[in-house]
């Protein structure tokens, strides 16, 4: 007796892309435009994006995060992990894979490395925040932490703030600071110098914090009027880089309210009651979409709380997919 297992279908070919191909397919300049559009679409209600789902694995000193989204005509999921100890294994501490699907049929369209997309889209988001929230004549950037995000933040910011001429970097690991200086001076032709303290790094027009800290590294007293801060490091519950008093004195813009409340820079002050939700100004998408104003004067302290949202990833992955799908040898069944 023959048993039918159901009708057979010819599924569309799936594009498979590795990290090397992706680096060739999207530049930082292109990512800036894609990410800015994605934030605008999100604010206009043209995207569907649940908050990150965390799978915590304390026995392995890491966690996984599932980030689904629909934006700009495509559906997708980023499956990303954070393993701080990977540095000792000569592996990235953040590793990601992205799946894209056709929202009309549910058919898979692409599977691609998401690690570089994660790096570049986070840098792009920080630059978009600086575009709307930093002073136009900002010329000095202070970087705290000298890892991957410290690099992509500067790469992106230097494209939107064209008067940047001096960069000061601080890292607890002096060798990491010195390597950052060598790498970024060669890449961007900007004067980059290593400094000895966090306070020296914060004597800047734009400050980027890109550390995994769970205790504040930047105090209110360090920050002068008119400074813009990109707070990049806090992406899980309990992480905090900025003193609560600094947040209370600033115009705080988040990438996503729900995510920021449970895993962003504002999560600890909110849990302790030192900051209230209604003291958060709004989202970056609202600013990009002109629903709320960005910087309103040269004295404001502004903060962008970046948790990393799926619309950034899936919009960039869509851009890569559209450029790559005609290439020979990239398709598998």
Active site residue 37: no
- List b or e across 193-204, with b for residues whose CB sees 16 or more CB atoms inside 10 angstroms: ebbeebebbbbb
Strand order in the sheet with 166-170: 191-194, 166-170, 140-144, 206-209, 228-231, 302-305, 251-254, 282-283
Specify whether the CB–CB gap between 72 and 48 falls below 8 A.
no
Q: 66 CB contacts (<8 Å, ≥6 apart)?
A: 52, 53, 55, 77, 78, 79
Q: Estimate the crossing angle of helix 28-43 against helix 115-133, to 10 degrees.
A: 70
| 82 DSSP β-pair partners | 63, 94
Q: 7 CB contacts (<8 Å, ≥6 apart)?
A: none
Pairing status of strand 282-283 against strand 251-254: parallel
Tokens 């992509």, residue located: 152
Half-sphere exposure of 23 (CA within 13 A, CB side): 6
Phi, psi of 24, rounded to the nearest 5 degrees = -80, -20
Compute CA distances 120 → 117, 124, 130, 142, 202, whole Å.
5, 6, 15, 19, 24
| Catalytic one of 37, 46, 78, 224 | 78
Q: Active-site residues: which are they?
A: 78
């Amino acid at each position: 007796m023959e048993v039918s297992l159901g009708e057979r279908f010819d599924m569309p070919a799936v594009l498979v892309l590795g990290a090397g191909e992706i680096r060739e397919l999207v530049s930082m300049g292109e990512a800036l435009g894609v990410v800015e559009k994605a934030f605008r679409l999100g604010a206009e209600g043209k995207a569907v994006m649940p908050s990150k789902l965390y799978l915590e694995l304390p026995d392995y000193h890491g966690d996984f995060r599932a980030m689904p989204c629909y934006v700009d005509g495509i559906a997708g999921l980023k499956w990303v992990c954070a393993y701080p100890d990977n540095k000792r294994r000569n592996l990235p501490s953040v590793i990601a894979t992205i799946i894209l699907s056709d929202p009309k049929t549910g058919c898979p369209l692409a599977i691609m490395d998401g690690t570089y997309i994660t790096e570049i889209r986070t840098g792009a988001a920080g630059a978009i925040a600086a575009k709307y929230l930093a002073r136009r004549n900002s010329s000095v950037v202070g970087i705290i932490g000298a890892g991957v995000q410290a690099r992509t933040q500067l790469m992106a910011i230097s494209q939107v703030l064209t008067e940047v001429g001096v960069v000061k970097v601080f890292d607890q690991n002096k060798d990491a600071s010195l390597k950052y200086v060598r790498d970024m001076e060669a890449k961007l032709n900007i004067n980059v110098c290593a400094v000895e303290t966090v306070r020296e790094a914060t004597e800047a027009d734009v400050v980027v914090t890109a550390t995994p800290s769970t205790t504040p590294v930047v105090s209110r007293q360090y920050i002068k009027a008119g400074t813009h801060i990109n707070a990049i490091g806090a992406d899980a519950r309990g992480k905090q880089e900025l003193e609560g008093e600094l947040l209370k004195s600033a115009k705080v813009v988040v990438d996503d309210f729900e995510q920021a409340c449970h895993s962003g820079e504002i999560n600890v002050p909110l849990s302790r009651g030192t900051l209230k939700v209604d003291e958060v100004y709004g989202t970056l998408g609202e600013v990009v979409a002109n629903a709320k104003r960005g910087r309103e004067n040269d004295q404001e302290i502004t903060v962008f709380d970046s948790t990393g949202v799926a619309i950034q990833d899936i919009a960039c992955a869509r851009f890569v997919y559209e450029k790559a799908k005609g290439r020979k040898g990239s398709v598998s069944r």
